[in-house]
Amino acid sequence: MPPHFHAKYGDEEVLVSIKDLEVLEGEMQNKQLKMVLGWAAFHQTELLENWELAVKKQDLFSIDPLR
């Protein structure tokens, strides 16, 4: 899998590509998905940095949550 993150809302879950900000798998209501993608765009560099840490099995740092 390419660098990605998981986002959940209720019973819905999506896997989102960090580089392309596109849904790789799953479904989510449009309003919530737009919020997730906006958050990801704002934190894209941090998400990629955390991905690299995860690949190296190192501790991840916290990223401000979606509000």
For every residue of the chain, DSSP letters joined together read --SEEEEEETTEEEEEETTT--EEEEE--HHHHHHHHHHHHHTHHHHHHHHHHHHTT-PPPP-PPP-
Predicted TM-score of the model (pTM): 0.92
Which pLDDT score is estimated for 57?
A: 98
Residues with Cβ within 8 Å of residue 40, at least 6 apart in sequence: 5, 16, 18, 21, 47
pLDDT band for 66, please (50, 70, 90 cuts). Answer: confident
Read off the pLDDT of residues 9-65 as tens digits, 9 standing for 90 and up. 999 999 999 999 999 999 999 999 999 999 999 999 999 999 999 999 999 999 999
Which pLDDT score is estimated for 42?
A: 97
